[in-house]
Amino acid sequence: MKNISWKSLFIITLGNLVFAIAVNTFLLANHMGEGGVTGISLLLYYVAQIPVELSYFLINLVLMAIGYKYLEKSTIFYTIYSFAIFSVFVRLTSSFQYVMHDQLLVPIVGGLMSGTSIGFIIWAGGSTAGTDIIALIINRYFNVPTSTALFVIDLFIVGPSAFVIGFEKSIYTLIMLFVAVKVIDYILEGFNVRKSILIISEHHEEISQRILTDLYRGVTVLHGHGSYTKEEKQILYIVVDRNQVVDITKLVNHIDPKAFMTISDVHNVLGEGFTYDISKKKR
């Protein structure tokens, strides 16, 4: 496991601690719902008194067994570590309870805390597992954007929760999910869906090949030359989803720490890989 980073482990650990505190302090204490596996675990606790940490761990274990082949080895390790340590932290912070009189503050504060923690977990190379894996599979086989798949899955979880926590609190739960998603977006490179990246590097061939094989994104090679040095340069141009920016920057820095990169916002991306499925053309 030579690709394991202690810095990433620390961030993932801290992120899960904050998330566990948010779940106990604001969600459980105020009888709120959530999306994903956390939401399912909360419902099981409200209905059958099954400990949140137990159901969360077991459900994630099953989902990992189903979707492990869609993740890289280092991501698998980080993901298993993430949901395992979260389960431990939920148990350790179970006494952290704070009933808020102004219920509207619960989704705001809870969304800020959960969004921040999950955002940094993903930024560090980890994952909260759970429905992320299902969304990844849907994206792979049905070309549905991951964010859309996650939203639909969350609706199927939050919808039935209205019969358990009440209609009003289910609306608060949706508000919290919205706040959390916006915070995650901000942490993972702002609010824009697409990003364009220009890369100038002496190792452009290796970088291009790794992007093609590891991230399944096309790369355009532009020919240029330095105005000062008069040297010929090969410039890589890539347009990617927002959540792939961190992966590309880490990949480029690993291959060539001296590489020059610019990352820009892109709007209205049309064409292969974005508005229609690449795999359909191959078939």
DSSP 269: -
Task: Say how far apart CA 283 and CA 171 lie, in whole Å.
Answer: 43
| CA-closest candidate to residue 61, choices 41, 90, 33 | 41
Which range, of 12-26, 71-85, 97-111, averages the lowest pLDDT? 71-85
pTM of the full structure: 0.66
Residue 244 exposure: Cα atoms within 13 Å on the Cβ side: 18
Greatest mean pLDDT range, 47-61, 112-126, 133-147: 47-61
Q: Which residues contact 105 (CB under 8 A, 6 or more apart)?
A: none
pLDDT, mean over the chain: 84
For residue 100, how far is the Cα from the chain centroid? 29
pLDDT of 74-94, one tens digit each? 778 888 898 999 999 999 999
What CATH architecture is 194-282?
2-Layer Sandwich (3.30)
**Domain boundaries in the chain?**
6-187, 194-282
Report whether 20 contacts 10 (CB < 8 A). Answer: no
Question: What per-residue string of b and e applies to 159-193 under the rule 16 or more CB within 10 Å gives b?
Answer: eebeeebeeebbebbbebbebbbebbbebbbeeeb
Place of tokens 């690709």: 3
pLDDT at 282: 44
pLDDT of 34-77, one tens digit each? 988 999 999 999 999 999 999 999 999 998 888 777 776 777 88
Phi, psi of 196 (to 5 degrees): -105, 140
